Chains A and B, each alone.
Chain A
Amino acid sequence: MSAHESRSEPVNRETTGAASSRIGLGLFWIYVVLYAGFMVLVLYRPDLLSLRPFGGVNLAIAYGMGLIAGAFLLAIVYMAACRSVEDGGPPHG
């Protein structure tokens, strides 16, 4: 990230900030895969979205709700992970 400026910033803040950023980006890519997967189904396999794997609602609704719930769950994971990084001091590497 800010490799050039790191020498002038306190080491603690830089590494926890970088760690939080890494965690965030990792979770971001996970979500991108889920979101893109949904778009691919909508665009190319809409027939699959009509399936009702849980006997009740179809995949279109289940996946959609899943994306909404998933965003919230990932956000909680992120908050917890960042807090443990900040409480536990700078991580290794």
Chain B
Amino acid sequence: MLYESSSTAIAIFAAFVLGVVGLSFFLGRKGQSAKGYYAAHGEIHWFVNGIAFAGDYLSAASFLGICGMIAFHGYDGFLYSIGFLAGWIVALFVIAEPIKALGKFTFADALDSRFNSRGIKLAVAISTLVVSIFYLIPQMVGAGDLIVPLLGLPHTVGVILVGVAVTLIVVTAGMVSTTWVQFIKGSLLVFFCGILAAMILNRGLVVGTGPAANLTPQVRTVTPDGTVLVDGKRQSKDHDLRPVGTIKALPARYAGQTATGPLRPLEYLSALEDSTIVTWSSKKHTDAEGTHTTYSPVERRGADLLKPGGYFKGLSTGKLADRLDFASLMLALFCGTASLPHILIRYYTVKDAAAARQSTVVGIAAIGAFYVLTLYLGLGAMTSGALDPTSTNMAAPLLAKSFSTTLFAIISAIAFTTVLGTVSGLIMAGSGAVAHDLVENVFRIPMTDHEKVRCGKIAAVGLGIIAMVLGVLFRNFNVSFLVGWAFNIAASANLPALVMLLFWPRTTKQGIVAAVTVGMLSSLAWILLSADTFEKVYGWSREASVVPFSQPGLVTIPLGFLVLVVVSLLTPKPGEAVRRHG
């Protein structure tokens, strides 16, 4: 669909971005020691840190991707919500306290605290960089997807805007400002989504009318020379794709009515289950005239939409490979949260273990509340009559637009700061890996405090540029797919080493290096050889793939543990190694 840029949207958007960058300049004026730059002087209050956890964690995938998936496919997006949130249990109950007691600035420090080994620092720094970059790609792609319909600008411009804004923030004030960016983002996101959810409940369920109730299939064609046609005629403001997503019939108990009126939260869900809803599916085919995507309506009972299987079609085939694939993804989500370098780094910004615990509880509360809201936002979008059939990512902002243009502008701006916050955190983790781990510790280049900070800033700029380039290269990718990659790699590379270090005294430094390296390389290789990658990246046939299912976690996470145990047992005990080498 075509979007007009609205000057309200631009004004609110600009105000947000300038406000956030201005705040970071202000906070950056306070002195910048290395500790201050990387770990915010260890003084962030646990409540602020907890909300900042939420702001850091709730990325474009959470907000745009999950709502969009629920809006188009039903329940399955909620499975992502559950998996993402459950991962915090691993973070809090297994990792939180021990890791706070160990490290200084970065994840690599924590893993290396017992051995002081350059091998460990190198392996973990590379793993941090790889995971950070994989997690950066979907954020940058998401940023571009936000800018296109909001401001009517090309995707590349959106990516560059994010890259420049974030690099400015990180370079001027490092961790302090990113904590505050994420605190602001976290609060705003939960607050405005709460308002939107309340408006959805207040509207209740309404039988669709207007253009969205038109059930004629629509065809979007891209001709070889790049022209876009809709139903055969050139796409224009007056001839465009129709918005979709409506209710066909309300539950029997509302016979004769066209609207249910305001509903309570559980009532809304049960009424939806008893309704008939029109969702839209798409089919692509290419011929001499171009690539045609046909969007067709599909009437579904609410009860069928509100159960698993709408997106993960494999769940209903009963094939073992499909079941393993799904289990593997849910395992990777469960293990991945605690393994993400940009989350772990936030433990170092509070005073002590108790504060770290409290801030994680606050984080879980905020994130959990948000994921409950995503179910309502997604279902509200599904029945809003305002969905763009070509884009799942726009479901949540367009839902807001169906209520009010101002709310649409605000939510879009918040979505954009969502991306700003996540990308800030990732660049911080990455620049820490480069400056602190690689340059200072592995290459042993001595630096003054001031030089360390400068090194970190140069690394941040470099990472910002890489992120922008990749965001442009991968712009046609599904955002959740890319996030799944990052979670799989993080869990495979980082979790086995972290858990075994914390709980098994026989862990040796060679064991850690081996586990991190094998976990990272095996999950990366598996992903690059999977059917999804064959089809969507290389353009080859799915059947040619050599691995049985797409998500590596089920295989590569246990592999990491196995490698660590075997290598540790084959190498000298930690105490003996110290005695031998003095």
Residues of A within 8 A of B (CB): 1-4, 17, 20-21, 24-25, 27-28, 31, 35, 38-39, 42-43, 46, 49-50, 52, 54-58, 60-61, 64-65, 67-69, 71-72, 74-76, 78-79, 82-83, 86
Contact = CB atoms under 8 A, between A and B. Distances in A.
Contact of A28 (B93, B273, B309, B364): B93
A31 B93 CA distance: 10
Interface in B266-310: 266-267, 269-270, 273, 303, 306-309
A75 to B, nearest CB: 5
A65 B306 contact: no
Interface string B491-519: 00000000000110100000000000000
- Sorted nearest first, the 4 A-B pairs with minimum C-beta distance are A56-B270, A24-B93, A28-B93, A75-B361
A49 B82 CA distance: 15
A74 B364 CA distance: 10
A67 B361 contact: no
A68 B371 contact: yes
Given A17-B97, A61-B375, A35 B334 contact: yes
Nearest to A38: B82
B222 interface: no
A7 to B, nearest CB: 13
Interface residues of A, dominant DSSP:
helix
A56 B78 contact: no
Contact of A71 (B79, B86, B330, B503): B86
5 contacts: A3-B505, A4-B574, A20-B353, A61-B78, A74-B89
Contacts of B101: 17
A21 to B, nearest CB: 6
Contact of B361 (A35, A76, A86): A76
B92 A75 contact: yes
Contacts of B93: 24-25, 27-28, 31, 74, 78
A52 B97 contact: no
A38 to B, nearest CB: 7
Contacts of A20: 97, 353
Interface string B76-114: 001101100110111011101110010000000000000
B357 interface: yes
Given A17-B97, A79-B358, A71 B269 contact: no
Contacts of B308: 42, 46, 49, 60
A71 B505 CA distance: 29
Contacts of A50: 303, 307
A2 B354 CA distance: 20
A42 B300 CA distance: 20
Nearest to B272: A57
B327 A39 contact: yes
B67 to A, nearest CB: 15
Contacts of A54: 266
Contacts of A25: 93-94
B307 to A, nearest CB: 5
A46 B327 CA distance: 14
B505 A2 contact: yes
Contacts of B97: 17, 20-21, 24
Given A43-B315, A61-B306, A56 B371 contact: no
Contact of A4 (B266, B327, B330, B505): B505
Interface in B307-366: 307-309, 315-316, 323, 326-327, 330, 334, 353-354, 357-358, 360-361, 364-365
